Structures are given as structure tokens and as C-alpha cells.
Structure 1
Amino acid sequence: MAYFYRYLMTLRRQTLVHFLHKFKCVATRSLSSKSTSMSGGNVHKTAQEGFKQGDHYDKSRPSYSDELVTHVVSSLHKGDYKDTQYDIVELGAGTGLFTRKIMEKFKDMPKIRYLATEPSDEFLSVLKQRSPSVDTLICSATKLPFPENSVQNIICAQCFHWFANKESLTEIHRVLVPGGRLCKYRLFLPKHFFKKMNDAGEKLVEGVLTLYYDDTPRKINETWKNVFDNCSLFRCVERRYLAGIDGMKGDKDFVLNHFTSISVIARLDPRRKEEAVQKFRAVLDETFTDDVEINIPFKSDFYCTEKVIQ
């Protein structure tokens, strides 16, 4: 009799968890459609102003290599936690460039509970158009609407520098299960790309961007790494450099479109944006002829951490 009672209670609990998960999926879709742009949490002003043209961003930004996506999936925490809400929560999913790549890996795994979150309504609307079957939610990394120990993995593609602070890490630590993984990855240009341009190529490109960056966080200065180094909530599992993509290529206008999708340029008023474009065009004109195809050889930087139980 006691065994039968325990069985009924276990079945009841599993049914409740399943119902809450389904209810959460419906609620997240509803919330996404009603929320205002960049709502909730501390979203940097540059991100608020620069991440509004979702279609332009989606067409002008690089995708991710199969090698990186495969490595991310293989690095995920795979514990057996029946009470969790999600296996994977993606922060700063943007227009879904990485979401689409990783969901291809999960197409034969329908039981994967995946949630794509993003503070920009404009970007998230593009993600939902491109990936209508993915559950989505508008939120920021400093205010995650999940219970404690309810998420197995949190992933961040090209976005962690925007919220690289103790407040976000504390919130992420709260919602992850014991041993849960926080994986971040970025794309970067190797030194040889600038050497192909000319000896001063890197300084020329950087000189134009520096005019507009002010206090905007940047991936390349690695201040995000200091946040991890000074935080006892996570331990580093692995850092690895992987191959990037091989399809980010086109003419000068193609490169300029990518340039204008960068947040600090996208946020400018029309006059200043045109000035920035002309400055960058001058750098390209100094290096490339009009008929050449320019290849932007992005590489991948993968960083995986694990929640430390306090």
C-alpha cells in the first residue's frame, strides 16, 4: 500500500511538472507578443538603440560553423533532472542565427526543452518568423523568470559581453541546476585578415570603430573574462578556439552592410551613419579593388563554465 501511494505521488508530481512546462511554453509566446522592446533588466543603451533592424542584422551578420555547434552540444550538461523547466535557455538569441543552427542538431530530438530569450522585441520577431516552432521569451540576463535550479544549460552566442557582470552571473547561477553549464562563444577576426589588407589594416579598421564605441562593451577586450576570474560561482571547464565560417564573403557593399549592422554604427542618426560608412569605405578602397571578392574569415572562441555549489 505504501509503495502504491509513493507511485501515485511520483506520477502526480511528474504530471504537474509536465503541465507547468506546457503552460510555460504558452505563456512565453503570449508574453513575447505583448512585451515592449528591450523590457526588463539592465540593457545597455547602445543595445537598445542599435538593435532595432532585425532583418538587416540577420542578413548582414555571420552564422556559425558546424564544428562550433557540434562542440557546444557535446559540452552541455546532461543530468537527469525531472523537475527542471528547460534543458537549454539561450540568452541574447537575437534574430536566431545560432538558434537555427543548433535546432538542426535537435531535429531528431523532440523532447529537448529549448527556450530562446532576447530583450529586443524587433530581433525576437525575426527569430519567431525564421523559427516558428521555437519557444521564445523577452527577458534580460539580470532578470530571469525561472525558479531556482530549473535550467540545465544556458548558452550565449555573441552576446555575453553585454551583460558580463556579477549581477548576471548571480542570476544565472540561481536558475542553473547543480553542475549546470554556462557556455559562451564569440566570433573574431584573426590577425592574418588584417595582414591581407595591409600592414596598417587593423589600425585603420579599429580607428574607425573606436570613434563610435565610447563605453559600449566589446568582445575583443575580454573584460568579460575578468568577471569570471573574480567570481567563485562558476569554474572554467574549457576554453577552445575553433574553426569559423567560410561563407562570409562578398563585395565592398556586402562588407559595408556588415559594418552598419554593428550596434554602435546602427544606432547613429542618418547623417553620422553615412559619415561612418564613408570612413570605412575609404579603408576598403585603400586595400581592395571594386571587382575583388572580400572574404571575412571569422574564427570561433568557445568558453564553457560549470555552476559551483556554494
Structure 2
Amino acid sequence: MTRAEDREEFRRARSFGAAADAYERGRPPYPPEAVAWLVPRDARTVVDVGAGTGKLTRALRAAGREVVAVEPSAGMREQFSRVLPDVRVVDGTGESIPLPDSSVDVLVCAQAWHWVNPELAVPEAARVLRPGGRLGLVWNFRDVSVPWVAELDRILRDCAAAPTRARQVEDVGAPFGPVERRDLRWSHPLSTGEIVDMVASRSYVITLEPAAREELMSRVRALLDAERPTEVPYVTECHRAVLGSP
């Protein structure tokens, strides 16, 4: 990756605070089956790295369980605290987690591991996890096997050069054991306005020049006016690995 590409990745990674409200309205939650697969029932302390507005965090809460959110964007932390005022949220990144050594049972990273530097984030995750702790990585992807969703993705690629950044799951490695994977298909009910918010909250849309952003959003609204969807189909891709597993 060139220096210019590095700068653009950094700009996109730090852009979400400017669209925190749209992110909260338009981004989907995570299915309960995904959380159950990623987080053992007996886990008592879970840290959500790159928590955003708490889309995954709210599904992680359970009786007797402490959840701590880590989020680098001040705008996202502000939105998070409005939605989840009883959950601790701290300033940090996957490479620098402000928690003590061996202090958590599970570390999860939703829709964010592709932003980290795995050479730093893997040992940092291992540092804060207790022996035998679990790392969970999860992404929601729109299901492009549905025709209107495929057309939406084509519009995004045409107008916004949607990034194809690797998810970096293969870079987890030691001291973690083998990475397991499970995919889940489901649909999230959304109004047309909420789908527009979902598009507007993408980093590569937030960072467009105003004229280009308006052109993209006009094409998205035209597609939605023609198709009138009431839900967005998703594939949730889950990965998990155990610290110190052979």
C-alpha cells in the first residue's frame, strides 16, 4: 500500500464520527445466534473493540456480565453513551486497549478488524485476554444474491469506489489457535430512510466530495423508490479463536 493509500485509509477509518447519527439509524444489529457462537455463556467480562454506536454491544449484555466498549471516535462515543448510558465506553483502538493485562474473558471486534494493524492488534488482544480467552471477529455483509442489493452495490462501486480491504482474519495466528468460521443469513427490517442512512454511514461515502456524494445518494434513492424494499438481507460472517489453543 502506498503512502497516499495509507493516508486515505486513515481518513476513512476516522470518518465515522461525522455520521454517527446515520450510523445508529441505518446500521444493522447482529443476530443472537452470532453472539451465542462468538461468546461463551459463562463469559463474565467482554470487551467490544471498535464498538461504534454499540450495535454489537447491546447484544453482548447479559445478567452477571460486564461489557466494556472501546471506540476511538469521540462522535461515536457520544452517540454510544446516549444509547447505552449504563455501559462503560473508553477511548482506544485495537492496537491500544486501555485495560489491564489478563482482565477479560472475550474480546470481540465487529465491523472493524479490517481497520487494525494485525502486527500490533493480535498481541494487544492476547495481552488483555485471560489464558483460554476468546477472540471473536464479526462482519455484517449485504446479501448480493438478492438482485436489488446487487444493484445497490453496483451503484456504490460506480460512485464511491467501495474499498476491498482484506478482513485480515488469516493474520490472527499465534498465540491464538486455529480460527473457526460460521456464516449466518438473515434479514433486517428497514424503512427507505433507514436504508439511505445505512448507505450514508459508509466511510467511503462520508469522505466523498459533496457533489459526488449527492450524485450517489440520488441514484440510491431512485433505486429504492423503484424497488421499495422493507428489509435488507445480510450474511453475518463470524470468526473465533482461543488464546493459547494448540
TM tier relative to shorter chain? 0.7 to 0.9
The structure whose Rg is larger is 1
Deviations 1:181-236 (A, max 9, x none): 10011111234213xx3xxx73772453365347x564xxx4412313xx322123
Where does residue 276 of structure 1 map in the other structure? 216
Question: 1:236 — aligned with what?
Answer: 178
**Do the aligned partners of 2:46 and 2:104 also contact (CA within 8 Å) in 1?**
yes
Q: Could you tell me which residue of structure 1 aligns to residue 234 of structure 2? A: 298
Task: Name the Cα RMSD after superposition.
Answer: 2.7
Matched position secondary structure for 1:192: coil
CA contact (8 A) 2:34 2:236 kept: yes
Q: How does 1:33-112 map to 2 (within 5 A)?
A: 44-74=10-40, 78=43, 87-103=45-61, 106=62, 108-109=63-64, 112=65
Instruction: Name which of 212, 226, 242 aligns with 1:289.
Output: 226
Percent identical: 25
**Residue 52 of structure 1 contacts residue 120 of structure 1 at CA under 8 Å; is this kept in 2?**
no
Unpaired runs of 5+ residues, structure 2, are: 1-8
Change (3 A) 1:165 1:233: same
Distance 1:237 1:77, change over 3 A: farther
Letter in 2 for 1:117: V
Report the residue type matching 2:188 in the other structure. Answer: G
CA drift of 1:132 comes to: 1.0
What residue is the counterpart of 2:6 in the other structure? none
Counterpart-to-counterpart distance in 2, 1:129 and 1:203: 35
C-alpha distance in 1 between matches for 2:76 and 2:164 = 19
One-letter amino acid of the structure 1 residue matched with residue 91 of structure 2: I
Offset at 1:66? 2.3
User: Which moves more between the two structures, 121-130 or 271-280?
Assistant: 271-280
Change (3 A) 1:207 1:224: farther
Determine which structure has the larger helix proportion and give its number: 1
Unpaired stretches in structure 1, ≥5 consecutive residues? 1-42, 79-85
Per the TM alignment, residue 250 of structure 1 is displaced from its structure 2 partner at its CA by: 2.8
Q: Size of the alignment, in residue pairs?
A: 238
> Partners in 2 of 1:115 and 1:154 — Cα distance?
10
Give the structure with the larger strand fraction: 2
